[in-house]
Structure formats: C-alpha cells, structure tokens
DNA sequence: CCTTTTACTTGACACTGTGTAAATTGACAG
DNA sequence: CTGTCAATTTACACAGTGTCAAGTAAAAGG
C-alpha cells in the first residue's frame, strides 16, 4: 500500500524537521535523521535521493503544516499599500523562525550543492515576488519614496527581509522576535516610503 | 633560513587570495591553493595547521596589503556625525568586494568549523565597533532618529552593512557597486537619522 | 497455499576533502 | 663521508554522502 510508504516518508520529514529545528543546519547528518525516524540510513535514500531533496521536501512539509500560503494570502488581502507592507512583513517575519532550521541547512548545502542552491534560490524568488507586490501596492498609492525605482525598492525590501538579517538581529544581536518585526516595519517605511511610523 | 620560509608562506597566502577572489569560497580546496603556490598540499599544513588558520591569515594578509586600517581611520577623522556615517559606509562598502572571496570561504567554513566561526565573529565584531562609533557620532550631533536607542541603531547599521547584504544586492540583484554604496548611505540616513538625503 | 511485490535492512564500497604520521630528500657542519 | 636538521613528499586515517548487491518479512494476489 502507498499509505505505509507515505507514513514512513512523513516520519522522515518530521524527524528532519525536529532535528533541524533544535540542532542547527549542517550538523544534522542523514544518519541522524534516519535514526530519529527509526529506520536505516539507506532507507532514507529510498524516499529522498539526495540530501538536497530531503531538505527541500522538509521545507515544503513545514510550509504545508504551518500554512504559509494562507498567511501570505492574508497580507495580499490588505487594501492600502501601507497596510499591505505591514501585513507582509508581519507574515514573513514571523514565519522565518519556524523555517529557520531547514533554511540554515539549505543555505549551508547551497554552498557546495547546486541542487540545494537552486532550491534555495526558488524560495528566495518567491519572497522577492512578495516584496515586488508590496512595492507595487505602495507605488499605486503614491507612497513610494521619490527617486526610488520600484525595482530597486523591491531589491532593498527583499534584502532587508532576508533570513540572514533575521539571524543576525535575533540570533547574534539577541533581539526579541517582536522587536525584530517592529524594527523591520519601521525601517521599511523609513527607507522605502514617504510614510510616518507604523502603528504600534 | 627564515626568509625562505616566509617566502613560501607569502606565496601560499597570495595563491589563496587569488583563487578565493576568482572562484568562490568553499570550492577552493587546500590542494588547489598548494598547486597554485607550487608546493604540495601537505606543505601548506606546515605553515597553516588548519584550513581556518589559512583563511584567517589570508584575510589579515589582504587587510595589510589593502590598508583597511588606514581607510577606516580616515572615516574616523570625519568631524560631523553625518559625514562620519557617510565616510564609514563608503570605506567599508568599498572594502567588501576586496575581501569577498575570503569572506565567503570563511563564512562557509564557519558552519562546520568552530575556529572559523570565531575568526569570522571577530571580524564582524570589529565591523560592529565601527558602526557603534558612527552611531555615537550621530547621537552626539543629535541626529539619531527619535525613539531609537543607540544600541539598536548600531545593530541595524551593522546588519545593513553585512557582507551577506552586499552579496544579495551586488551579486543576486545585479547592482553596480556604486549604486550599492549610494543606497546604503541613503538607507542608513533614512532609517537611523533625522537627516535628509546624502550629497550625491 | 504458493508466488510475487513492496518496503526495508545489512553490509560493503567508491568518492571527496581534511588532517596526521612516517619516510624521504637535500643542504650544511664536522 | 657521515650526522643532523628542516622542508617536503608519500601514504594513510577519518568523516560524510551516495551507490550497489543481497537478504528478509509481510502483504497482495493468483
């Protein structure tokens, strides 16, 4: 039956998720995940041909479980450009900690593995699209800072909201998550728009 | 003789520099560097016990050759807070591309090697100090954005000027170096100060 | 009841890259 | 010609990913 197969597959994904969440990225080996899932290391390769495949599948698995699409859809629903920017930053910024374990592993793998690099690039492209849409909404409302082309505004917002920046502020600098989200909202407004402070 | 030894050491550092500058970080192996330096792979280990040691030594080697300290000293010399911020961003921002090869290798190595992680953390701490000083100069002139503690302003500036952000804007987004520096100046002013646009 | 298929296990192995240990070379001193 | 010492090379150990072949247990299906 395929349900049995799916069960094991899911067990692997859950095991990977757990391990990546606790102990960081590249430290988690295929064998660790197998052991946590209660199967042999080789059995993992029956379901996921390479480490990169397993990591990307885990990322999607988390997406499904956490309902990213729904959350981001909510930000798309916002009417005005300002609200939309805030909602997008809120949704994405609060999503980062939930995928951070896999994200770290994927970024590390991307350094040496082209497949992992592409998988990560895809996710970053999706984020960039969200930024592009938010910037377009700002422009439509005439809120975009003068002299700042939408393309560059998108690039800036995309960079501001990168996982690495979250790591640096929340991880290295020790910021609480709430402050991170608030600061990203303020910084985005100040650097991209003609708006005042966001509502607290 | 020690002059001979030093020669070999320097040849290794130059070889590492060259290779890291062209082909990115983790792709450059100890053997590649050895070959480029005209010695055997193992001979490299006589001068640098580990990969992390070689990478950090290469970074310092570049620092010396390019005169980072002098350049950053120039930014410290700026009188007003605004000029100082601009000068600092200018100096650091234009330094990033010159160390980028080693930086990439060091960041990648940091994922799995604690020694490399510490070496990289040291460099980032130095950058953070520069940011701290620039923020202090802003505060002294009363230019710091209201409601923004110096500590947080430092963290934000530090994150804004990270090597990863440079990579993303100049590398992934394809920005020319000049635009990067200009955008960092503008963004820093907008998000941290009460100042208007920087002079073009 | 027997056969085939499915999902997994076991164990060995190839490959890549770092780092270590032992053997070798070569110059120079007595 | 021999001893010594340092620089260097050859050979090896180790970790982790991914491959391969053979075996096993149980469910599916005639």
* Sign of the alpha-carbon dihedral angle for B138, B198, B174, B60: negative
pLDDT at B1 over 50: no
The pair phi, psi for residue B193, each rounded to 5°, is -125, 180
- What is the structure's pLDDT at B193? 94
| A23 lies within 8 A of chain B by CB | no
Contacts of B155 in chain A (CB under 8 A): 169, 173, 175
Per-residue pLDDT tens digits for B64-106: 888 888 888 888 888 888 999 999 999 999 999 999 999 999 9
Cβ contact A6 with chain C strand, < 7 A: no
Per-residue pLDDT tens digits for A125-150: 999 999 999 999 999 999 999 999 99
3-class DSSP state of B139:
helix
Sketch out chain B's domains with CATH numbers.
2-48 (1.10.10.60), 67-192 (1.10.357)
pLDDT band at A198 (very low <50, low <70, confident <90, very high): low
How many Å is the maximal CA-CA distance in chain B? 61
Cβ contact A38 with chain C strand, < 7 A: yes
| A173 lies within 8 A of chain B by CB | yes
pLDDT at B149 over 80: yes
The DSSP code sequence of B120-142 is: HHHHHHHHHHHHHHHHHHHHHTT
pLDDT (average), residues A153-181:
98
Q: Which nucleotides of D are covered by protein (CB under 7 A)?
A: 6-11, 16-21, 27-28
pLDDT band at A190 (very low <50, low <70, confident <90, very high): very high
Contacts of A28 in chain B (CB under 8 A): none
pLDDT (average), residues B140-145:
94
Per-residue pLDDT tens digits for B166-183: 999 999 999 999 999 999
Per-residue pLDDT tens digits for B10-64: 889 999 999 998 877 778 999 999 988 888 888 899 889 999 999 999 999 998 8
Residue A43, C-beta contacts closer than 8 angstroms, at least 6 positions apart: A8, A34
Q: What tokens does A61 get?
A: 């698995």
| A162 lies within 8 A of chain B by CB | yes
In this structure, what is the dihedral angle of CA atoms B111, B112, B115, B118, given to the nearest 10 degrees?
A: 20
Helix axes A68-77, A51-66, angle to 10 degrees: 50
Decide if B197 contacts B189 (C-beta within 8 A): yes
pLDDT at A192 over 50: yes
CB contact under 8 A, A168 and B175: no
Residue B28, C-beta contacts closer than 8 angstroms, at least 6 positions apart: B16, B19, B20, B105
| A10 lies within 8 A of chain B by CB | no
Among A189, A178, A183, smallest CA distance to A84 is for A189
Contacts of A168 in chain B (CB under 8 A): 158-159, 162, 164
Among A12, A4, A49, smallest CA distance to A28 is for A12
Residue B69, C-beta contacts closer than 8 angstroms, at least 6 positions apart: B63
Per-residue pLDDT tens digits for A57-107: 999 999 999 988 888 888 888 888 899 999 999 999 999 999 999 999 999
CB contact under 8 A, A26 and B124: no
Angstrom distance, B18 CA to D10 C1': 28
């Amino acid at each position: 039956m395929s349900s049995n197969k799916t069960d094991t597959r899911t067990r692997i994904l859950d095991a990977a998720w757990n391990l990546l969440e606790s102990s960081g990225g590249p430290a988690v080996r295929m064998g660790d995940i197998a052991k946590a899932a209660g199967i042999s290391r080789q059995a993992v390769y029956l379901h996921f041909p390479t480490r990169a495949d397993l990591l990307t599948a885990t990322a999607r698995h988390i997406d499904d479980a956490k309902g990213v699409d729904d959350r981001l859809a909510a930000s798309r629903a916002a009417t005005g450009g300002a609200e939309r920017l805030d909602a997008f930053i809120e949704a994405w910024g609060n999503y980062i900690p939930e995928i951070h374990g896999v994200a770290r592993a994927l970024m590390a793998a991307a350094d040496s593995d082209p497949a992992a690099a592409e998988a990560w690039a895809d996710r970053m492209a999706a984020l960039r699209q969200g930024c592009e849409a938010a910037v377009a909404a700002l422009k439509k409302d005439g809120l975009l800072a003068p002299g700042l082309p939408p393309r560059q505004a998108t690039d800036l917002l995309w960079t501001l909201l990168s996982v690495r920046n979250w790591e640096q502020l929340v991880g290295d600098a020790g910021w609480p998550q709430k402050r991170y989200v608030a600061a990203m909202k303020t910084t985005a407004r100040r650097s991209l728009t003609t708006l005042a402070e966001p509502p607290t």
